[in-house]
Structure 1
Amino acid sequence: MQDILDLIRASARGLWNYRWWGFLATLAVGAVGTMVIMAIPNQYEASARVYVDTQSILKPLMTGLAVQPNADQQIAMVSRTLVSRPNVERVVRMADLDLGASSPAERDALVDRLMSSIRFASAGGTNLYTITYRADQPDRARKVVQSFLSIFVESNLGDNRRDNDQARKFIEDQIKAYELRLTESENALKDFKIRNLAAMPALGQDAVGRAGEIGGALSQARMELAQAEQARDELKKQLAIEPQTVATDDRGFAMGAGLATGPSGGTRAVRTEYDDRIDGLRKRIDELKLRYTDQHPDVVSTRRVLEQLEASRETERKAEVARQEAAAKAAPAAGARPPGTAVNPVYQQLRVSLAESEASVASARARVREYESRAASLHASAANAPKVEAEYKALTRDYEITKRSYEQLVSRRESVQLSEQMGAASGIGEFRVVDPPRAGQDPVFPNRAWLLSGLFLLSLAAGVATAFLRDQIRPTHFDLRSLRAATGLPVLGVVSMIVDSRARARARRGLLVFSGSAAAYLLGFGVMLAWAWLHQPIK
């Protein structure tokens, strides 16, 4: 411990012995450092706060990325996107920064410095960022930031308008193309339906199911035809054994009949054999029209039978009129005519029933022929049906896909127009200025208060280091122990130094001069620090 104290004491004496060397070094470092600090040009900062829709700007850049970038990476990407070289070159021209550049190389160097000097940082909010720039003049810094904002706003509006125009043009072209394709699909589907009109009602149904339906209907029609023919044959048998006429009395009335004829041969409530059949067929036609159209085979065949019966009735009426006229001429002028004959009403009723049965047979036979024709047509087209159905499905599918795409494009066009109207009404875009550019009147660099404080400590350290090194180069020993340790020789004795009055006076003057010099140095640094504090507070 004593050795350490002796070492500290010896070092302190050595420093004091070379105090003027240390003071000169302190003064030199302080003076040179002060001149350097005062020569550093002031830097003024201008800043503006903006809103940037990073999702809209970065969406093309982040397409296909599996991992989305974090906030710092997004800021860096936005900075590189907005602070691009073309934009910086425009800023250099707008802010007149290239007036001092006499060559393209100097202009490129100026652009590079400006790109590295612009700071783009997050302002603490969502999509809020701060643009800052430092220059040696406040107006120049503000002009640079304002130029950047102007370029960003103009490019944003221009890009939005250009993007909207391109999107609208693309959608319009697609709509025209799909409209043409839709028209072609409609025409192809229409032509297919016209070519395959007979097969259209059956499309979409199972071929086996259609064959079963037609076979069942054909069997039912054949069974009905057999029943109608059996009923007709039975009526024919009854009609064959029934007499056509019955005897009449002397007054001209049929005996045992419900009909009578007058003496002149005219009929009393006499009807032809076709009247009831015609009435029955007319009722049947009315019933058929309720279920079928006029072109249905049953309706057509029944109407044809009706026309034949009406023609036969007209012929029979004419014949009956002629017969009655001949009988009237041959009859005596007065008195009752002799007993004769009259038409058997039972026979007439059987004839009517037979006519109706014939009509039913004709109708059933027409249905059988129709179903047989359908079955034959289905059998003939069975091999081609899958191809026709596949072609129909393909045409229908193409038409539906084209129609759906066309409707989606029309809806997207409406969405684009609505988005443009909303953007124009609200003014919302990818880039908006929140706080306009503003430059402070106090320089932000250099911070001379901090620099002078550090320089003061550095100068003191330089003085102490200089005195210490000088003492190490030419050491002075003040006791026997340090001398013996330094030389390694035995010390025989010590001679005391006698200080006279002149030496004491000289030592006092030297102490006063050193103290005054040190005080002046401290005072000068204090004044410099006070000036720096007043003009630029320590932040």
Structure 2
Amino acid sequence: MEELISQLQVHARRFWKYRWYAMGVMWLCALAGWATVLTMPSDYQASARVYVDTQSILKPLLSGMTTVPNVEQQVSIMSRTLLSRPNLERVMRMVDLDLQSNSARQRERALDQLAATIKITGTSSHDIYTISYRGGEPKQARDVVQSLLTIFVEGSFTGKRDDSRQAVRFIDDQIRGYETRLISAENALKDFKVRYTGLLPRQGDYSAQLADAADALNTARLEMDEAEQARNAIRAQMGGEPPRKGKDRRPVRINNPELDARIALVAKDLDALRLQYTEQHPDIVAAKRLIGQLEARKIEESKHPYRDNDPGRNYSPMLQQLKVAQTEADAKLAAIRVRVAEFGARHARLLEQSKAVPEVEAQLSQLNRDYQINKDNYEKLISKREAAKLSGELSSTTEMMTFKIIDPPTLPLTPVGPDRPLLTTLTLCGALCAGMLTAVLIGQARPTFASPAALRELTGLPVLGTVSLTWTEAERARRRHSRLVLASAFGALVFAYGAVLAASVLRT
């Protein structure tokens, strides 16, 4: 502690010895600093606060129809990208700052300075954003904030609108491509169906049709067997009752009641069948064939004029009934045989075609699958395009988010910087420190011994004696005058500080 006190005493003596140098440095530093502070340009700050209302009633109404844009994220991204280079260049053009730049380097420096003096702050919970700018001119500060506010509002709408237009153009290109594929798939499917029209399944698959044809053939054969058994039974009954012989014979007439009755019976059955089936039905074809055969037989028998025209004349009534039943059984059997033949030919044709059916069905399934895939994708793209258009319109509409200017940018009247009173005080403190440091450094450059102990300690030799200095009366008066001048100089420095401080306060 004593050593520290002695060091402080040494430095104090050095300072006092070179006090005039210290005072000169103080004045020089103070005057230079105060002149710099007073000539510094004033900074004017303009700011604006805007509230973004993102709670729109359109969100719940259109949530199921299209992709509702995330307006909160949209506004947040725009606020972060507001200080991008294109936006800053646009601000410079809007406020004519680019006219002050004569070279590319000056333009870059102006862009950097503009970006450094703009501040954008916001609250995530209340969607309130503050845009502020500090510049050397009040009008310029207000214009810059107004330009940033305009870009912020417009960019929140146009950004998503451009994205939606690009998405719609991309989807349109995809739709045209899928439309071409869909037409090609439709033509390929049509040509395939025309080429293999006989092998394509109509109801169910081809194996089901083959099974149905086999079942129909077996049923027809069973009916044919039943009809043959019924006819044979009638013939057996007819063989048990012989005909009655008679002597009277009449000449044969052209009309034949037996054949007429059979033709009428078959025609009646044909009319009934026509009410149920078409002309190509096997039963109708068989009935027509039987009528033709009976007509031919009638014409053939009409060529013999002396035949007995009453076939039932020599038969009993029971035999005549059996004869009619036999005729009906023959007609039914003939129709069933035609049906069996038709079903057999159909079954044979299906059985022959069944060898090529699996390959045809596989190709048809592949064509249908390709066509369905292209159709589904085409319809999805159509719906996506409409959704993209609606989403773009939602993003660009002012109903999704509303901008409310809370504090519009105004023309600042008083500067916000620099803080001249603080800088003036710091300049005085720095000048005082610089003066004292100068005196101490000069004292170290020109060392002297302030006491015999310091000389003895440095040299290690004993001090034999000291010579004291005695001041005369004139010298004492001169010393008092010197102290008075030093105090006046320091007082003048403090007074100058007060004057500069007052000027700084009045200027701000």
Does the alignment reach a TM-score above 0.5?
yes
Once residues 360 and 225 of structure 1 are traced to their aligned partners in structure 2, the CA distance between those partners, rounded to angstroms, is: 9
Counterpart of 2:283 (choices 298, 307, 316) is 298
Is the 2:175–2:382 contact (alpha carbons within 8 Å) kept by the matching residues of 1?
yes
Residue 364 (1) aligns with residue 339 (2)? no
Output the amino acid matched with 1:508: R
Secondary structure of the corresponding residue to residue 198 of structure 1 = coil
Map 1:9-88 → 2, pairs under 5 A: 9-48=9-48, 78-79=80-81, 83-85=84-86, 87-88=87-88
Is the 2:14–2:440 contact (alpha carbons within 8 Å) kept by the matching residues of 1?
yes
Map 1:74-473 → 2, pairs under 5 A: 78-79=80-81, 83-85=84-86, 87-101=87-101, 103-105=102-104, 108-109=107-108, 112-114=111-113, 116-117=115-116, 119=118, 121-125=120-124, 131-150=131-150, 164-172=164-172, 174-176=174-176, 178-179=178-179, 181-201=181-201, 205=205, 207=207, 210-243=209-242, 282=268, 286=272, 295-302=280-287, 304-305=289-290, 344-423=316-395, 425-426=397-398, 428=400, 436-438=408-410, 440-473=412-445
Per-residue CA deviations over 1:213-250 (Å, capped at 9, x if unaligned) read 43344333323322222222222222233345699xxx
When residues 122 and 185 of structure 1 are mapped into structure 2, their CA distance, relative to the original with a 3 A threshold, is same
Is the 1:146–1:437 contact (alpha carbons within 8 Å) kept by the matching residues of 2?
yes
Is the 2:262–2:327 contact (alpha carbons within 8 Å) kept by the matching residues of 1?
no
When residues 380 and 433 of structure 1 are mapped into structure 2, their CA distance, relative to the original with a 3 A threshold, is farther
Secondary structure of the corresponding residue to residue 134 of structure 2 = strand
Once residues 92 and 302 of structure 1 are traced to their aligned partners in structure 2, the CA distance between those partners, rounded to angstroms, is: 102
- CA shift, 1:490, in A, is 2.3
Per-residue CA deviations over 1:429-476 (Å, capped at 9, x if unaligned) read 899988654563333442323322322222221122112112222344
Per-residue CA deviations over 1:51-110 (Å, capped at 9, x if unaligned) read 899xxxxxxxxxxxxxxxxx9xx979953x86225x544443332224344x44465445
- CA shift, 1:407, in A, is 1.6
Once residues 507 and 241 of structure 2 are traced to their aligned partners in structure 1, the CA distance between those partners, rounded to angstroms, is: 147
Once residues 313 and 78 of structure 2 are traced to their aligned partners in structure 1, the CA distance between those partners, rounded to angstroms, is: 126
Secondary structure of the corresponding residue to residue 123 of structure 1 = strand
Aligned-pair RMSD on alpha carbons? 4.5
Give the % identical residues. Answer: 37
Is the 2:157–2:397 contact (alpha carbons within 8 Å) kept by the matching residues of 1?
no
Once residues 110 and 298 of structure 2 are traced to their aligned partners in structure 1, the CA distance between those partners, rounded to angstroms, is: 116
Output the amino acid matched with 2:322: L
Secondary structure of the corresponding residue to residue 221 of structure 1 = helix
Secondary structure of the corresponding residue to residue 134 of structure 1 = strand
Give TM-score scaled by structure 1 length. Answer: 0.71
- CA shift, 1:30, in A, is 1.4
Q: Which has the higher contact order (CA 8 A, sep 6+)?
A: 2
Once residues 356 and 470 of structure 1 are traced to their aligned partners in structure 2, the CA distance between those partners, rounded to angstroms, is: 154
Once residues 89 and 396 of structure 2 are traced to their aligned partners in structure 1, the CA distance between those partners, rounded to angstroms, is: 30
Give TM-score scaled by structure 2 length. Answer: 0.75
When residues 344 and 316 of structure 1 are mapped into structure 2, their CA distance, relative to the original with a 3 A threshold, is farther
Aligned length: 473
Once residues 8 and 403 of structure 2 are traced to their aligned partners in structure 1, the CA distance between those partners, rounded to angstroms, is: 67
Output the amino acid matched with 2:347: A
- CA shift, 1:481, in A, is 0.8
Counterpart of 1:524 (choices 484, 490, 496) is 496
Once residues 77 and 165 of structure 2 are traced to their aligned partners in structure 1, the CA distance between those partners, rounded to angstroms, is: 29
Q: Which runs of 5+ in 1 are unaligned?
A: 54-70, 248-270, 327-339
Once residues 241 and 505 of structure 2 are traced to their aligned partners in structure 1, the CA distance between those partners, rounded to angstroms, is: 148
Once residues 138 and 166 of structure 1 are traced to their aligned partners in structure 2, the CA distance between those partners, rounded to angstroms, is: 41
1:337 maps to none
Once residues 465 and 83 of structure 2 are traced to their aligned partners in structure 1, the CA distance between those partners, rounded to angstroms, is: 84
When residues 453 and 204 of structure 1 are mapped into structure 2, their CA distance, relative to the original with a 3 A threshold, is farther
- CA shift, 1:159, in A, is 5.9
Output the amino acid matched with 1:125: S
When residues 401 and 456 of structure 1 are mapped into structure 2, their CA distance, relative to the original with a 3 A threshold, is same
Secondary structure of the corresponding residue to residue 441 of structure 1 = coil
- CA shift, 1:424, in A, is 5.2
Output the amino acid matched with 1:498: T
When residues 241 and 501 of structure 1 are mapped into structure 2, their CA distance, relative to the original with a 3 A threshold, is same
Once residues 459 and 163 of structure 1 are traced to their aligned partners in structure 2, the CA distance between those partners, rounded to angstroms, is: 61
When residues 121 and 421 of structure 1 are mapped into structure 2, their CA distance, relative to the original with a 3 A threshold, is closer
Decide which moves more: 365-374 or 127-136. Answer: 127-136
- CA shift, 1:32, in A, is 1.0
Q: Which runs of 5+ in 2 are unaligned?
A: 54-72, 247-256
Output the amino acid matched with 1:124: T
Secondary structure of the corresponding residue to residue 426 of structure 1 = coil
Is the 2:210–2:350 contact (alpha carbons within 8 Å) kept by the matching residues of 1?
yes
Is the 2:30–2:428 contact (alpha carbons within 8 Å) kept by the matching residues of 1?
yes
Output the amino acid matched with 1:192: F
Secondary structure of the corresponding residue to residue 123 of structure 2 = coil
Once residues 329 and 350 of structure 2 are traced to their aligned partners in structure 1, the CA distance between those partners, rounded to angstroms, is: 31
Is the 2:52–2:402 contact (alpha carbons within 8 Å) kept by the matching residues of 1?
yes
Once residues 111 and 312 of structure 1 are traced to their aligned partners in structure 2, the CA distance between those partners, rounded to angstroms, is: 121
Decide which moves more: 128-137 or 377-386. Answer: 128-137
- CA shift, 1:408, in A, is 1.6
Once residues 430 and 204 of structure 1 are traced to their aligned partners in structure 2, the CA distance between those partners, rounded to angstroms, is: 61
Once residues 368 and 120 of structure 1 are traced to their aligned partners in structure 2, the CA distance between those partners, rounded to angstroms, is: 98
Decide which moves more: 298-307 or 358-367. Answer: 298-307
Residue 485 (1) aligns with residue 470 (2)? no
Once residues 502 and 194 of structure 2 are traced to their aligned partners in structure 1, the CA distance between those partners, rounded to angstroms, is: 103
Is the 1:149–1:433 contact (alpha carbons within 8 Å) kept by the matching residues of 2?
no
Is the 2:79–2:152 contact (alpha carbons within 8 Å) kept by the matching residues of 1?
no
